[in-house]
């Protein structure tokens, strides 16, 4: 079943003395309980097959995080925690009541910050290879300093995977939009690199039911990081995706979607 998404833009009033407007761009499609998909480190290439599958049972919102795509990043916002504060304003503007939040990579880190800030605002949390916790950041491949030709091998176990170029284009195909997204990531997660110095010490307070999904062959953050997350979270379950890398829904969309559906009982989602 094909579900055509709508692309929409909201301008929200900022906080503080200047109260500058904050622009959010997002895609929306489907019917059922609200589900917000928070994208990975370099944004979404578009409305993808995993969004489409989720929209069969949920009303899916896929926002460009502040600083990505056409969403504005205020000058004061410099961390994933700050993005969570801004997303709460978007939730208010859209009247989203206890959505399910699915976050990949950077989006997973932001989702965890959301659940810590306002646990009553989120029904369930799905974290797909989230950033935020790193066993030893000095051993994690540097996505910003490395030769761009090596980037796919740091994200996908099969660097020649046809879909890899959709998420990590060759240097000659880097568009202004891709460079803008990359620059936003540098601002948000470069120092400290891909992790928070304090998040691990807060996670025991996160009471939202949480599913942690990880690719068994993640070349960026080894699968042991999945256990690190579930050991830190009091209400977490873990699902490992065989043969998948840092974006497991790219290599095995159906298994990831099934894991989400299993985590969310039928009475909490639309469809059969």
Residues 6+ apart with CB under 8 A from 168: 42, 151, 152, 155
Residue of 72, 73, 60, 66 lying closest to 27 (CA atoms):
60
Residue of 13, 230, 215, 12 lying closest to 105 (CA atoms):
215
- Domain extents for the chain? 6-266
> What does the pLDDT look like over 114-129, one tens digit per residue?
999 999 999 999 999 9
The pTM (predicted TM-score) of the whole model is 0.95
C-alpha 81/C-alpha 149 separation (Å) is 31
What pLDDT, on the 0 to 100 scale, is given for residue 1?
60
Residue 270 has pLDDT above 70, yes or no: no
Residue 19 has pLDDT above 90, yes or no: no
What pLDDT, on the 0 to 100 scale, is given for residue 269?
62
Residue 15 has pLDDT above 80, yes or no: no
C-alpha 42/C-alpha 40 separation (Å) is 6
Other CB atoms within a 10 A radius of the CB of residue 236 amount to: 19
Instruction: For domain 6-266, give the CATH number.
Output: 3.40.50.1820
For 51-79, what is the mean pLDDT? 95
């Amino acid at each position: 079943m094909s579900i055509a998404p709508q692309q929409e833009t909201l301008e929200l009033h900022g906080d503080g003395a200047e109260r500058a407007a904050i622009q959010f761009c997002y895609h929306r499609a489907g019917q059922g309980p609200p589900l917000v998909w928070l994208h990975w480190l370099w944004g979404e290439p578009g409305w993808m097959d995993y969004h489409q599958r989720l929209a069969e049972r949920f009303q899916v919102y896929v926002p460009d995080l502040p600083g990505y795509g056409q969403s504005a990043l205020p000058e004061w916002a410099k961390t994933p925690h700050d993005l969570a504060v801004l997303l709460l304003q978007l939730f208010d503007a859209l009247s989203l009541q206890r959505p399910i939040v699915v976050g990949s990579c950077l989006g997973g880190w932001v989702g965890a910050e959301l659940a810590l800030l306002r646990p009553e605002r989120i029904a369930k949390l799905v974290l797909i290879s989230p950033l935020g916790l790193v066993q030893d950041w000095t051993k994690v491949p540097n996505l910003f300093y490395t030769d761009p030709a090596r980037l796919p091998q740091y994200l996908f176990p099969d660097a020649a995977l046809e879909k890899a170029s959709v998420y990590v284009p060759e240097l000659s195909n880097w568009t202004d939009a891709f460079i803008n997204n990359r620059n936003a990531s540098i601002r948000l997660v470069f120092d400290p690199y891909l992790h928070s110095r304090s998040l691990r010490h807060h996670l025991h307070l996160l009471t939202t039911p949480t599913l942690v999904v990880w690719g068994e062959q993640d070349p960026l953050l080894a699968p042991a990081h999945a256990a690190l997350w579930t050991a830190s979270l009091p209400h977490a379950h873990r699902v490992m995706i065989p043969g998948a890398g840092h974006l497991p829904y790219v290599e095995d969309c159906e298994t990831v979607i099934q894991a989400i559906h299993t985590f969310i009982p039928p009475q909490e989602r639309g469809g059969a």
